[in-house]
Amino acid sequence: MTRAISTSSVDAMPDSAAAKEEVLCDHCDLPVPAGLIDPEAEHQFCCGGCETVYNVLHGAGLEGYYGIRDAVAKDNQPAASSNQNYEELDDPAFQSACVTNLPGGECETELLLEGMHCAACVWLIERLPRVCPGVVESRANIRTRSAVVRYAPDRVPLSRVAQALDKLGYAAHPARGAGAREARRKEDRRFLIRVGVAGAIAGNVMLLAIALYGGALSGIDEFWEHTLRYYSMGLGLLSLIWPGRVFFRGAIAALRTRTAHLDIPVALALAVGGIWGSYNTLTQSGEIYFDSLSVLVFFLLVGRWVQHRQQRGAADQVELMLTLTPTSAERLLDDGTTKRVPIEAVELGMRVRVEAGGSIPCDGIIEQGTTQVDNALLTGESRPIPRAPGDEVIAGATNLGSPIVVTVSAIGDSTRAAKLMALVASATADKAPIVQFADRIAARFVIAVIVLATITLTFWTIRADLRTGIEFATALLIVTCPCALGLSTPMAMSIALGRAAKQGVLIKSAAAIEAMSNPAKLRGVMILDKTGTLTQGKTRVVRSECEPDLLQAAAAIEAASNHPLARAIIDASGDAPAPPAEGITQTPGAGIEGLVDGRRVRVGSPEFIRGSIGLDESTESAVESVLADGLTPVVIADDQGRVGVLGIGDPLRDDTTDAIAALRARGWDLHLCSGDHPEIATRLASQVGIEHAMGGASPERKAELVRTLREQGHERIVMVGDGINDAAAMALADVGIAVHGGAEAALQAADVYLTAPGVMPIETLCDLGSHTMKTIRIGLVVSLCYNTVAASLATAGLISALIAAIIMPMSSLSVVALATRPWKHKGAR
């Protein structure tokens, strides 16, 4: 069935598109490329992946997926199958690490699924038993984008389960570190239990408090009053020692390490209020404070829980991205066949095959094949390096040319990548955590409150008696307890985390939001990596002084080559079919020549052409200017005297220049730090407007730069990068930002991960940071006003305890409402 927009009734496409008789893919509703339309076929697909998924769905009677998808997720495209075979999942080494054996012979494992995003996905994934016999149950979790699959291993191997999920369009990745995940889950549950218990206690104490306040207004029998006060004390103390003990624990830990923390004033208020309240209950005199205290514990825990949940969501998504990096190797067996094995099962001396475009899984020596490798993620060097048999390759590099066979020479901790990771680990240990705004304020707050309380105590002791003094000092401590800081700060932070995620910025630690907010005051420095961060990290034709047909002829010849520059030339020549080329001869390291349409065309370095045909003056000057721009010149010449010059390099990302200007305007002191040649780094820095540039920087040098800048008195250092070579510096910096498409190590070291391409999301993060900090400050001022007014009126005896008890939650409510203050990014694209 060929479905065109004009006949489709389910699509919510604009009418203007109806005129175009565009053929849409039967699976994903995207237009089918002209070359793939098959007029004979009943169904049309934009790619093989979509066709696989479509056939599986229809074969298993799961067409309902399309109905649900159209109903719930109009703009989300379904995922396509990647057709991998997942045989590494059946390896015993993997099975023992990631699969749980259940009683009864069944097994259970958790798989992270790429491409799961809506209700229709959940529906489909939970119908896995229908598609894949042997699977007993499949339960999806849309928040963590994972599924727990229970299956009978004697009926179906895990690889087949993963294949089935892949055929449905969800590439499956085993969730590594099951122990750590379970521990985090337990922590989440404990957190929730604390919130629930604190809430139940607060509710009940408030009920008792209503009776007591009612009694205070209209009179109450003394026996009942004391009974109710004893009950309040019992519940209030339970709240302090059960859910509330986290504040005491936090305060003690902070005091021990002599750091400022919000827990200190909170614990002080709770302790003094609890002790004096109990004393008053037992001596049957004065105020009890248990209603305020238990509500305080509950509110503060709710605030923390909301922030914790939001942060955990971002961490889960980053974890999913971590699993996307290859964790298996293709082992070459003695009989010449290959087998996928998990990376843990690779041993010294094994032979491993690496496909063109694949990532090299281990350090080793090339045994067969000549290729170019891209070490950009490890060294920052943007140019591909030629490698032949006998040469060394390192784990994490990309094989650009042709397939190679590598003999493994180092595994595990002894690889270059592992050594860099050790550097990251030591840098992480060195890093001093940012003292957050709330905690910094808390330090001054404690001093101010203690001073005020002492003054109140002395004043009223002299004026009245000790009892009145303690009474008023306690009231002051409780009423000034930093509820706004404790509640509105986490609320504002978690709202900011959610907004950032929508803009393509995943934040692992909320401190990063604050750290990005005010660079000018703290002499903030942002260090940017070049390759893959400011630039696209890919070789492209950046400058072309060449006629189109000559370029096409060059592309036709280069099609026979696997040189990375060839790829760039072919990409630049456009989509038109290349003319046939014959009689191609390659001169390694120089160029290539062949016959196209009867013309002899040569493509290569200026020296290559100079040696064969010679170059005229205008071409020489074009080559000069290409070199002056830091690009690699390639000359194309044919035997009719026509000459073209190409400049090939790593182009800037589209938004780099704008983003750099915006970041400078915010007051960031920008540094460029690249593993590439110093000259290239300097030129690029001046091109985009960065003052300081450092080239030829090893990972160790980059980390050293962070230390040096810190010694120079810069208090806020941000490192932006994409590769393993940046990871140590990222871990050491106050905030590490990994750009879209970065390496695994960069993800682990970073506090912030960009899911949208480009550098602009960093600017968005800065804007969001200053907005959020402003919100928090306003909240603080508002609540301080409430508290000051309430405290001074209460101490002067002008308002009753009842009104104070009403004002307190009102101040909390209004600061929470403030936290949702709308944010509109001015520089938004």
Partner 1 sequence: MSVILIMIPGAMILAGLGVWAFIIAAKKGQFDDLDTPAIRAVFDDDDERPGWHDPSHTIQDEAAPQDQSPPSAH
Pairing state of beta strands 371-374 and 632-638?
unpaired
Q: Which CB atom, from 58 or from 664, has the smaller least distance to partner 1?
A: 58
SS (H, E, C) 242-256: CCCHHHHHHHHHHHH
Residue 819 CB, nearest approach to partner 1 (Å)? 21
184 binds partner 1 (CB under 8 A): no
Instruction: Kindly indicate which of the ranges 167-175, 194-202, 279-287, 435-443 contains the residues binding partner 1, using the contact rule CB under 8 A.
Output: 194-202
Q: Which CB atom, from 48 or from 67, has the smaller least distance to partner 1?
A: 67
123 binds partner 1 (CB under 8 A): yes
Q: Which of 113, 128, 140, 162 binds partner 1 (CB under 8 A)?
A: 140
> What Cα–Cα distance (Å) separates residue 780 from each residue in 298, 560, 819?
19, 67, 11
Q: Which CB atom, from 140 or from 745, has the smaller least distance to partner 1?
A: 140
- List, as one string, the DSSP characters of 713-751: T---EEEEE-SHHHHHHHHHSSEEEEPTT--HHHHHH-S
Query: Contact at 8 Å (CB) between 112 and 175?
Result: yes
Q: Which of 37, 47, 97, 142 binds partner 1 (CB under 8 A)?
A: 142
Residues paired with 365 in a beta bridge: 392, 407
Provide the angle, in degrees to the nearest 10, between the axes of the packed helices 245-256 and 263-282.
130
Query: Contact at 8 Å (CB) between 168 and 127?
Result: no
Instruction: Locate all alpha helices (DSSP H) within 44-113, ordered by sequence.
Output: 48-59, 64-72, 92-98
Q: Which CB atom, from 28 or from 483, has the smaller least distance to partner 1?
A: 28
Q: Which of 40, 42, 335, 413 binds partner 1 (CB under 8 A)?
A: 42
Here the tokens at position 207 are 């009920």
Q: Which of 56, 122, 400, 478 binds partner 1 (CB under 8 A)?
A: 122
For residues 60 to 89, the per-residue mask of contacts with partner 1, x marking binding by CB under 8 A and - elsewhere, is xx-xx-xxx-xxx-----------------
For residues 2 to 41, the per-residue mask of contacts with partner 1, x marking binding by CB under 8 A and - elsewhere, is -x----xxx---------------x---------------
Q: Which CB atom, from 223 or from 796, has the smaller least distance to partner 1?
A: 223
Please count the residues of the chain. Answer: 829
Cα–Cα distance measured from residue 363 to residue 415, given in angstroms and rounded to the nearest whole number = 6
Instruction: Kindly indicate which of the ranges 186-194, 348-356, 458-466, 710-718 contains the residues binding partner 1, using the contact rule CB under 8 A.
Output: 186-194
Residue 180 CB, nearest approach to partner 1 (Å)? 16
Residue 142 CB, nearest approach to partner 1 (Å)? 5
Please give the size of the binding site for partner 1, defined by CB under 8 A: 43
563 binds partner 1 (CB under 8 A): no
1 binds partner 1 (CB under 8 A): yes
Residue 667, number of CB atoms within 10 A of its CB: 14
Residue 207 CB, nearest approach to partner 1 (Å)? 8
SS (H, E, C) 199-213: HHHHHHHHHHHHHHH
Q: Which of 4, 193, 466, 661 binds partner 1 (CB under 8 A)?
A: 193
224 binds partner 1 (CB under 8 A): yes
- List, as one string, the DSSP characters of 595-653: EETTEEEEEE-HHHHHHHT---HHHHHHHHHHHHTT-EEEEEEETTS-EEEEEEE-PBP
Q: Which CB atom, from 228 or from 747, has the smaller least distance to partner 1?
A: 228
DSSP H helix total and E strand total for the chain: 29, 27
Q: Which CB atom, from 72 or from 595, has the smaller least distance to partner 1?
A: 72
Residue 123 CB, nearest approach to partner 1 (Å)? 5
Query: Contact at 8 Å (CB) between 525 and 718?
Result: yes
Residue 118 CB, nearest approach to partner 1 (Å)? 8
Binding residues for partner 1, rule: CB under 8 A, are 1, 3, 8-10, 26, 42, 58-61, 63-64, 66-68, 70-72, 119, 122-123, 126-127, 139-144, 185, 188-189, 192-193, 196-197, 200, 204, 224, 227, 231, 235
